[in-house]
Each structure stands twice: as structure tokens, then as C-alpha cells.
Amino acid sequence: ILSPSKLVTDYFALGGLGATFLNASLCTLLCNLLIKLTRTEMNETTLAAYFLVLAHCFYGLNIVNMSFCMAGVFLYCLITHRPIKENIHIAFFSTALGPFISDFLFRYAQGASFSQLTPHISATGLILAVIFSVISGFIVPSLLPGTGRMHQGFNLYKAGLAIGLYGMFAFALFYKTFGIEMPEVIVRTNPIYEAAERNHLLFVNIYFITVFFLTLLYGFIKNNFSFSGYRKIWLCDGHSDMFVERFGIPLTFINIGLYGLGVLAFLNTAMLLTNGAGFTGPTTGVIIAAITFSASGQTPRNTWPVAMGYILLSALAGFVFIFTDLSIPWTITTQVYINGLAFATGLCPFTGCYGIKYGIIAGMLDAVLCSSTALMHGGFVLYNGGFTAGLTAMLLITILDFYNVKRIQDSDNK
């Protein structure tokens, strides 16, 4: 809670496994309480925003910085007389700016006097955090509709583009314009974590296999002990889909369970075959992030081509490195690429609407960008993967529209 939380701060290293899950519990229980008190309808968008809060509790979000962000949106609702229950998802999305709040509170105004060992809040830092949260509370809601039109719904992580663009300007103003030194990612030597080689492989696998299997089992039981009707979700193109509304809770839970198990299997296989990050805090978080829109667009069928795009770019880069005697700087399991791929699955509408080859192209383009976009906002936007996917979608859909590439004819699913 007391540390600046710039991307990518591994909470497993910083606080430990137990403290990280405690943090995730506190943050999501607060979200549950807000949903209950405001009588918010738990639809697909609210569920996605909730999942994103949970995901980032493993590498950058905590109960302090998220509270400032949400308070700004609640103030916006009060002043503009908009119902909070209709904007609760925006409050949750705004927490992607949490690293700005943490840095303002604990480091920004202290300069060289900042010490990781003895953190404290300065009055100037507190004022900056409040001002930033209020301004953000009014800007984020205004950006979401327009940026959604920019990529025409082909990036399911639509808040990523809006908050990424805003974060880019905030970073340029508060750091580059005023010449404030950027913080380093806080690193702590955690003996237990180091003994596990910074890879809680067994724990994370048991945890997610249990969660996803129970989700699948619940859907199976509620669907009269069958998978009947799941084919309808399987064939969806992922563009503007709302599975709960169209197919009901049981089939949606079946999809979440199957998709989650698929994500976990992919990561385990990739880690077995390549060298890179293991099941770190960020990796654990992005498993949750990867299933964010599995109730409104993502299925195993329309996301695998995007993953294949990452794999093909990795293979192509490896081929070039071998024949040019260059060292290989990354693999598919390098942390930034794991994070990027998790959010790149939000490009699945390209697969559904244009075909497998365009899903693969979308994945390759996203993989090219994912290691560079954090530089634009200094690592202060937690939705960097959604920001990358948004830029990729804008680029690709513009090219496809210009050359009048025809979409696959809608099936009876629509």
C-alpha cells in the first residue's frame, strides 16, 4: 500500500503471496460493497470492470490508490447528477490510473529524499493526488464513448485506449514538462519468493484449475447437466456480443470455465518450452485479465488465432536472431509479452468478423507494439495491454476499411 506501483511491480515479491491475495480480497470486497450499496445491475460490462480490478491487484493496484480514482468518478456523478449505479463500471475502469496516485502520494513531491524503507505522505503529494483524481473523474467518462468509436468495437478492452491516451498526456505533463524524475519499479528481495525461483507454479495452477473447474461445473449443472447450446457461443464472432443476455448464465459460466482452463494450459505449455517469467504476480493477474470479456465476446475459438500471431512473431524473430548472430532478447513468456498477449485476446472480433488470418495478423501487430507502449505513459497506466490492443485495432481496422476487405457473413448467431 505504501509503495509507488509503476508497471510492472510484482506484488508477490514486494509483499508476498499472502499479502497479495489479501490486497486482492480487500479491493474486490470494496467493489462488491459498492455494487450492493448502489444496487448496480451485474451485467457483462460491470463484470469485466470487476475482473480488471481483481487482475491488477497482483501488480499495481491497492485499496489506497483505487479509492482515490473511484472517488473522482463518484464526484463526477454527483456534480453532473448522473446515477452512480450506471457509472460504477467507469469508476472501476478508472483504477487503471492507480500508479499515478501512489507516486503522487509517496514519491513525486519528495524528490531525492524519498526512501522505500521509510515511506510517508507529504501534504503536497496528497493535494496532487486529490487534484489528479478529481480531474480524472471528469475526463475518463468523457473519453470512453469517443475512443470506442475509434476502433469500432474491435478491441474488447475499450477502456484501455481511453485511459492510455489520457495517461500519456498526464505523464507528459506531470513528469516530462516539469522535469520530474520517473520512479524505478520497486524491487524487494523476498526469500520465500526467491526460493521458489520467482515462480509460484504449483500454487497458481492449483488455484486456477480449482476456480475454472468449479465455474465450468456450475454452468454444466445449471445447464441441466449438459453442454447443450454452447455451440451458439462457440460460433459467435466476439463483436458486440453479450453472452448473458443472449444465452443465459449457465452457458456463460461454461465458456468462462473452458476459456480460463485454455489460457492456463497455454501458459503452462509456453513456459515449458521457452525461458521467461514464471507464475509471478503479474502473470497471475493477467490470467484473470485474459478472461475479462469471456462473458461478452471471448471464446477459445476466436482467441487462438491472436495467440498464434504472438507465436509466429516470436518464431520469426528467433529465425532472424539465429541467422544474424544477435542475442534473443525475448520469448513468448517474457513478462511484457505474457501481459501483452492476455489483453491482445480482446482483438478476437477480427477473427470472428474477418477470419482466422486477420486474427493472426492482429496478434502479430499487437506483439510488435506491446513492448513499446508503456514508454508513452511511463508505466503509469495499468491497462497498458488494453491500450496496445486499442492502437492495434485502430491501425488494422482503418487499413481493412480502406481496402474494402469484406467481413464474414453473419451467421444465425446474430
- What average pLDDT does this structure show over 308-319? 92
Q: Kindly tell me if the per-residue pLDDT of 410 is higher than 60.
A: no
Say what percent of the chain tops pLDDT 70: 99
Per the model's pLDDT, the better-predicted residue between 274 and 411 turns out to be 274
Question: For the chain, how are helix, strand and coil distributed in percent, rounded to 5?
Answer: 70, 0, 30
Q: What are phi and psi of 295, to 5 degrees?
A: -100, 0
Lookup result for grid cell 487499413: 399
The rounded percent of the chain whose pLDDT value lies above 90 is 83
Instruction: Give the pLDDT band of residue 351 (cuts 50, 70, 90).
Output: very high
pLDDT band at 409 (very low <50, low <70, confident <90, very high): low
Whether residue 73 is preceded by a cis peptide bond, meaning omega within 30 degrees of 0, is no
Count of other CB atoms within 10 angstroms of residue 234: 16
pLDDT of residue 117: 74
- For residue 185 the three cell numbers come to 519499479
For residue 126, what is its C-alpha cell? 496528497
Residue in 26, 20, 50 with CA at minimum distance from that of residue 289: 50
| Per-residue DSSP letter, 173 | I
Instruction: Report whether pLDDT(333) > 50.
Output: yes
Q: Are 28 and 57 in contact (CB under 8 A)?
A: yes
**pLDDT (tens digit, 9 = 90+) per residue, 240-291?**
889 999 999 999 999 999 999 999 999 999 999 998 899 999 999 999 999 9
Name the grid cell of 16: 508476498
pTM above 0.85, yes or no: yes
Grade residue 413 by pLDDT with cuts at 50, 70 and 90. Answer: very low
Please name the residues in contact with 351: beta carbons below 8 A apart, sequence gap of 6 or more: 237, 238, 301, 302, 303, 305, 306, 358, 359, 362
b/e map 194-206, b = 16+ CB within 10 Å:
eebebbbeeebee
pLDDT tens readout for residues 43-67: 899 999 999 999 999 999 999 999 9
User: pLDDT tens digits for 143-202?
Assistant: 999 988 999 999 999 999 999 999 999 999 999 999 898 888 888 888 999 998 999 999
CB distance 306 to 366 below 8 Å = yes
Predicted confidence at residue 159, as pLDDT, reads 94
pLDDT for residue 287: 97
367 Ramachandran zone, left/alpha/beta (phi>0; psi -120 to 50)? alpha
- The mean of the pLDDT values for the chain is 93
Q: What are the residues whose beta carbons fall under 8 Å from the beta carbon of 384, sequence distance 6 or more?
A: 7, 160, 164, 339, 343, 370, 373, 374, 377
- Per-residue pLDDT at 107 exceeds 70: yes
Rounded Cα–Cα distance for residues 169 and 151 (Å): 20
pLDDT at res. 411: 43
Instruction: Identify the pLDDT of residue 148.
Output: 87
Q: Which long-range contacts (CB under 8 A, 24 or more apart) does 172-176 make?
A: 174/100, 174/108, 174/132, 175/378
